[in-house]
Amino acid sequence: MGECSYFVMDNIRIVRQTVLCSSSRGKWLQDVFPDNIAHIGEEFKFGRKNLKRERGVQIPRPVSHGPSSFIPEHEIVPPETDDEQTRQLFVDAFLQNNRLENITSVMGFHPQYLESFLRLQHYLLRMDGPLPQDYRHYIGVMAAARHQCSYLVDLQESEFLMQDGDPDWLKGLDYIPQKLRNLCELNKILAHRPWLITKQHIEQLLRGNDSWSLSELVHAIVLLAHFHSLASFVFGTGINLEIDHECGHTLQPASLSEGANDVEAHHSNSVASSLESSEPGVEMLMHRMKKIQEAADLQEISQEEMKQRFEKVEKQSLELLPGQSACSECLAVSDYAKYRDDPHFHYEDFAKRGEERTIPTFRAQMEAPPGWLRDYSWEDQGFSLVNRLYSDIGQLLDDKFRMAYNLTYYTMGPQKDVDTSMLRAAIWNYIHCMFGIFHDDYDYGEVNQLLDIRLKSFIKTVTCYPERTTRKDYDNFWKEFKHSEKVQVNLMVLEARMQAELLYALRAIMRYMM
């Protein structure tokens, strides 16, 4: 990139910092966004042409069209939407993040969820808390790097510098304080195999030199889980890089680089692509839900049978093998090793084929049956513990979890007035199943009846190997459903995964405190 082009990109960043520091930015934003956004866009295009013609400046432009490479731009909610709630949320997001991020635009399909997401993220990153601002964003970098999520890494690197973070830290883990470096092991395990977290991991961080306080550690754990799960959403919905990201812009004319950032479709899931049978349509799913409800009214299932059905679903998940990583040119040259130790450590199935189980299933039960030891649940232990150690975060997390789980418009594809609670429960509990979490009040037989192999493959890839998600994986499932409904599946992956990570981490903290 030439010197003039670097000047242009630097000025994009300076404008963002000016907006961040301006005390009147709220009024400025209300004046120009989004009523005049189309006019501003035209003026910018005119200025681009003048700079190029009169001064020979090469002006960067986005390499991708729209916020997502999976969803057509015309189907995504625009900034100038007529929906007042969504419009105001976009304004709030701009104020919070100094831009309308692509990820926010895609979440705009579901404004009720977006509101709870922005509230939690603002509290986690901006409000008073145990950790300093630069630590918060660097932890975000470390978490996103576990999944090679360049979108989130670039965002958090930028925010880190805007919070006066030490630029040397961005050279890698060898340049950061030992206190942060000590977090690497927990980051690695939490991202890929959270069931391995023990009270010993917690004890090592809380004692000795460069130790963490308990409240600091809880703040860090919530940050790690937030960015791990957010990486799943980024890959699962094909979020495009922002224009000021390293690989988010190009100097080539549009005709020469059209679609340069599109995800290749040929990297399909190895299992889903091999199947010849077609997925069940909307009407078939509705018929199955009706049959399940009728059967539930006529029979009771023993706890032993419930456990066997869970184990069957768990073992079937072993057959779903993720595809190979989709290595774009940008991903191939990006250096994530500097932010990761043990880069070959990745997800392994909780239940391994042909091996005796060495780690007990996590029972997230509502009421313990006679003779069973009560395990750990978000409602009864996790919520109160995290709220006690990091004030108010428990309520914000709980609101977000409940919103993702209960969100419904009573539609399925073209059908209206549909109760989707059974389908949502199957998706949520299937995600938890991959982390060894057993809900003893749920019939896992419903999972196999409601989730076809293509949907299961997509969910497993996005949950466990998000960096391997491809456009074809996204296109392969729920072909009769709307993009907003596919985005909702990804929201459930985000929240169910985050809750699973927190359950294991908070249980380890509780055991340390006992």
| Closest listed residue to residue 472, CA positions, set 317, 228, 264, 173 | 264
Determine the pLDDT at residue 226: 99
**323 or 509, greater pLDDT:** 509
Give CA 386 to chain center in angstroms. 20
pLDDT band at 245 (very low <50, low <70, confident <90, very high): low
For residue 91, give Cα distances in angstroms to 118, 445, 477, 491.
Answer: 11, 44, 33, 21
| Mean pLDDT (the chain, rounded) | 82
**Rounded percentage of the chain residues whose pLDDT exceeds 70:** 72
For residue 131, give Cα distances in angstroms to 78, 93, 158, 162, 482.
Answer: 35, 22, 18, 16, 40
- Which two three-digit tokens encode residue 156? 């958090």
pLDDT band at 312 (very low <50, low <70, confident <90, very high): confident
Task: Give dist(CA 159, CA 161) in Å, integer.
Answer: 5
**116 or 7, greater pLDDT:** 116
Task: Give dist(CA 457, CA 171) in Å, integer.
Answer: 36
Residue 149 appears among annotated catalytic residues: yes
Show Cβ contacts of residue 27 under 8 Å, excluding neighbours closer than 6 positions: none
What's the whole-number mean pLDDT along residues 280-293? 90
Task: Give dist(CA 348, CA 359) in Å, integer.
Answer: 13
HEC sequence for 144-198:
HHCCCCHHHHHHHHHHHHHCCCCHHHHHCHHHCCHHHHCCHHHHHHHHHCHHHCC
* CA atoms within a 13 Å half-sphere pointing along the CA-CB vector of 119: 17
For residue 311, give Cα distances in angstroms to 318, 443, 447.
Answer: 11, 11, 12
Q: Are 358 and 372 in contact (CB under 8 A)?
A: no
Determine the pLDDT at residue 227: 99
**387 or 360, greater pLDDT:** 387
| Closest listed residue to residue 170, CA positions, set 5, 400, 335 | 335
Phi, psi of 416 (to 5 degrees): -115, 170
What's the whole-number mean pLDDT along residues 15-24? 45
What's the whole-number mean pLDDT along residues 242-269? 54
Show Cβ contacts of residue 169 under 8 Å, excluding neighbours closer than 6 positions: 134, 138, 160, 175, 176
Domains of the chain: 3-254 (1.20.1290.10), 266-513 (no CATH)
The residue type at 218: V
Determine the pLDDT at residue 266: 38
Residues in the chain: 514
The residue type at 39: H
Instruction: Tell whether the model's pLDDT for residue 4 goes beyond 80.
Output: no
What's the whole-number mean pLDDT along residues 219-245? 95
What's the whole-number mean pLDDT along residues 262-266? 41
**474 or 62, greater pLDDT:** 474
- Which two three-digit tokens encode residue 160? 């880190």
Ramachandran category for residue 485: left, alpha or beta (phi over 0 → left; psi -120 to 50 → alpha): alpha
Instruction: Tell whether the model's pLDDT for residue 288 goes beyond 80.
Output: yes
Task: Give dist(CA 47, CA 12) in Å, integer.
Answer: 14
Instruction: Tell whether the model's pLDDT for residue 290 goes beyond 70.
Output: yes
Task: Give dist(CA 449, CA 445) in Å, integer.
Answer: 7
Q: What is the pLDDT of residues 85-115, one digit of tens each?
A: 999 999 999 988 888 999 999 999 999 999 9
Per the listing, tokens 């973070």 go with: 165
Ramachandran category for residue 349: left, alpha or beta (phi over 0 → left; psi -120 to 50 → alpha): beta
Q: Residue 416 is inside which H or E element, if any? A: strand 415-416
**2 or 377, greater pLDDT:** 377
Identify the active-site residue in 149, 247, 433, 464. Answer: 149
> pTM of the prediction?
0.84
| Closest listed residue to residue 346, CA positions, set 497, 193, 457, 153 | 193
What's the whole-number mean pLDDT along residues 408-433? 96
Task: Give dist(CA 304, CA 444) in Å, integer.
Answer: 12
